[in-house]
Amino acid sequence: MAPSTADETPLAFQDPVYREAVVDLLGVIAYGEISAFERLAEDAKLAPTLEDKVAIATMASKEFSKVASIHQRLTELGADPFAAMQPFSEAIDLFHEHTAPSDWYEGLVKAYVGDGLADDFYREIAAYLDTGTRDLVVASMEDTGHAAFAVEKVRAAIAADHRLGGRLALWGRRLMGEALIQAQRVAADRDALSALLAGGVDRPGLDLAAIGRMFTRLTDRHTERMAELGLAS
């Protein structure tokens, strides 16, 4: 399915497979935002200064504020927002369980790298959505200020202690591996979402080559983010 225009939106949702894919996408994004809020709230406890604590807590509240509009759109589509989120809770929770940061800097890297990968993943799918849904998805990817905050703090810490850079580089690789495992799991478990990943719900069969190219692009962007942090990927 090629990206559609706003006038085509009602027709697009007459396709039950397309509607299912959109419900899946909005469900995973909504649960991801709730998880981001929870994680940032936990990260605030590790903050070395009161200023850092307040900055992270503010970002957490901004993440949570994005959930309402997604839930509203799910309701408009006739879906239960909580039922839409449920299929993705295990994969997202497992990712966070396997990648719990041991200190402040690991938390910053995880938020920057992990959230960046998730945003790239959703943007890949958004290219094949109707205009209204695409705009909602893109709006949910709006940076709350965490990217610049993480880059500034991590770069300054590495400059002060070069040994920290090696440890955080290894941590970034682990995050990428875990994130790809869970992303592939989500894609494999949800047929309609897999079809969007492959380039549209109207394509017959699953284009594994297209999905492979997408994951290559995700890996390339991860490398760029690690470089922004001053870390080897």
Distance CA 233, CA 220 (A): 10
User: 90-133, pLDDT tens digit by residue?
Assistant: 889 988 898 999 999 999 999 898 888 888 888 888 888 888 99
Residue 175 reports pLDDT greater than 50: yes
Q: Mean pLDDT for the chain?
A: 85
User: 16-41, pLDDT tens digit by residue?
Assistant: 888 998 999 999 999 999 998 998 88
What residues contact residue 161 under an 8 Å CB cut-off, 6+ apart? none
Instruction: Residue 222: name the closest of 118, 127, 99 by CA.
Output: 118
Mean per-residue pLDDT, 199-212:
59
User: Of the CATH numbers 3.10.20.30, 3.40.50.1370, 3.30.70.890, 1.20.1260.10, which one belongs to the domain with range 6-229?
Assistant: 1.20.1260.10
pTM of the model: 0.84
Assign 3-class secondary structure to 48-97.
CCHHHHHHHHHHHHHHHHCHHHHHHHHHHCCCCHHHHHHHHHHHHHHHHH
Query: Is 157 in contact with 48 (CB distance < 8 Å)?
Result: no
Of the pLDDT bands very low, low, confident and very high (cuts 50, 70, 90), residue 7 is very low
Distance CA 147, CA 177 (A): 20
Residue 89 is predicted with a pLDDT of 92
Distance CA 25, CA 121 (A): 10
Q: How is the chain split into domains, by residue range?
A: 6-229
User: 140-151, pLDDT tens digit by residue?
Assistant: 888 777 888 999
Cα separation values, 103 from 11, 31, 65, 100, 124, Å: 50, 24, 26, 9, 31
